[in-house]
């Protein structure tokens, strides 16, 4: 699959998730076989451009190409300037966020709230595409309210504006992450567009990935929540799509190595204080549903340094190794990979 002139290594893409898809996480997903990853959203508000959070989010050092920077906002000219800024910063693709359902984003008429104003959507698309010489992609939802889905008009207008690819989450803003993703509208959008369409929403297994690709006819799939604490899901899906066979559960030793490596990257990226705190949610995701994991997490949350945190994680996995060899041996609870808690 191509986005503009960039050929992706496969059709599995990491969804942009604020507070999750930082450079260490994107790099890890690419290591496990994701063909592309989109950055966390970065505000078009230039007064916040040099904030600590924005600088971390705009750090693409050493990342595998193509590098895609997602921008969010509601003013066409601010978004155009943000697009130019990110291209100067190393972005090879710019992605416009019209999908985020979060209240603090929608209250500023950004993210999926933009879908309420199709004229503004059109102005944003035209202005941003015209502002840069790199491919511009769009991430959006079916509409703002259920019963008022306007994605067919928005998608057509996006293609007319020169958008290079459309990533579509099969829910409205009203749905947030409730109900189930509706793939029938994604299928309808795909049938009427010539640009690549990327299906997103509720893809949490190799079988589901194949079903969504087959049902919608989409060019690619985008995976978000299901990769949290499970970056090897991309390897599992890629293998299944090629062979029709499911890989066995990863070994405990491999997951220990992956998690400890991920922690080391987070510590180096964010430093001692933030590295320790940001790592906590990742550790919780990796260990969800595992033997004695509730007790482990309570102890882990009390640790205040990266060295101690690293050691408690290492010790916990060493204990797990006494109870089995592969992760399914120590999985004692069924985990909903799509849970937003």
Phi and psi torsions of 155, nearest 5°:
-65, -45
Cα separation, 202 vs 180, whole angstroms: 7
Question: What pLDDT tens digit does each residue of the chain (341 aa) get?
Answer: 999 999 999 999 999 999 999 999 999 999 999 999 999 999 998 767 767 788 888 889 888 899 999 999 999 999 999 999 999 999 999 999 998 888 778 677 688 899 999 999 999 999 999 999 999 999 999 999 889 999 999 999 999 999 999 999 999 999 888 889 999 999 999 999 999 999 999 999 999 999 999 999 999 999 999 999 999 999 999 999 999 999 999 999 999 999 999 999 999 999 999 999 999 999 999 999 999 999 999 999 999 999 999 999 999 999 999 999 999 999 999 888 888 66
SS3 labels along 29-69:
HHHCCCCEEEEEEEECCHHHCCCHHHHHHCCCCCCCCCCEE
Q: Which tens digits make up the pLDDT trace of 140-184?
A: 999 998 899 999 999 999 999 999 999 999 999 998 888 899 999
Residue 108: the pLDDT is 76
Q: Is 276 a catalytic residue?
A: no
Cα separation, 307 vs 315, whole angstroms: 12
The one catalytic residue in 29, 100, 106, 276 is 100
Phi and psi torsions of 143, nearest 5°:
165, -175
**What pTM did the predictor assign?**
0.95
Tokens 């050493």: give the residue.
62
For the chain, list the domains and their CATH numbers.
Answer: 2-243 (3.20.20.70), 252-329 (1.10.1200)
Residue 93 per-residue DSSP state: E
């Amino acid at each position: 699959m191509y986005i503009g002139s960039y050929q992706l290594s496969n059709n599995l893409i990491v969804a942009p998730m604020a507070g999750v898809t930082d450079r260490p996480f994107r790099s890890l997903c690419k290591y496990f076989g994701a063909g592309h990853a989109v950055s966390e959203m970065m505000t078009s508000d230039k007064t916040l451009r040099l904030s600590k959070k924005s600088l971390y989010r705009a750090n693409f050092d050493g990342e595998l190409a193509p590098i895609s920077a997602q921008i969010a906002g509601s003013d066409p000219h601010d978004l155009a300037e943000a697009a130019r800024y990110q291209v100067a910063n190393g972005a090879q693709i710019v992605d416009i966020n019209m999908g985020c359902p979060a209240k603090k984003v929608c209250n500023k008429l950004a993210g999926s709230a933009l879908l309420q104003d199709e004229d503004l959507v059109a102005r944003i698309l035209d202005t941003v595409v015209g502002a840069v010489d790199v491919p511009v992609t769009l991430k959006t939802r079916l509409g703002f309210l259920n019963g008022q889905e306007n994605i067919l008009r928005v998608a057509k207008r996006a293609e007319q504006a020169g958008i290079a690819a459309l990533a579509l989450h099969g829910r409205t803003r009203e749905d947030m992450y409730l109900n189930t993703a509706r793939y029938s509208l994604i299928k309808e959008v795909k049938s009427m567009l010539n640009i690549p369409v990327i299906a997103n929403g509720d893809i949490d297994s190799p079988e589901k990935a194949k079903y969504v690709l087959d049902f919608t006819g989409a060019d690619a799939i985008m995976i978000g929540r299901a990769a949290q604490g499970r970056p090897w899901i991309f390897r599992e899906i890629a293998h299944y799509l090629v062979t029709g066979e499911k890989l066995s559960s990863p070994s405990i030793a491999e997951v220990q190595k992956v998690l400890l490596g991920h922690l080391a990257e987070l510590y180096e990226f964010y430093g001692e204080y933030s590295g320790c705190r940001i790592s906590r949610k990742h550790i919780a995701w990796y260990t969800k549903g595992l033997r004695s994991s509730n007790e482990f997490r309570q102890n882990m949350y009390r640790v205040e340094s990266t060295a101690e945190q690293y050691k408690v994680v290492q010790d916990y996995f060493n204990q797990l190794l006494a109870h089995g060899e592969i992760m399914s041996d120590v999985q004692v609870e069924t985990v909903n990979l799509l849970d937003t808690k």
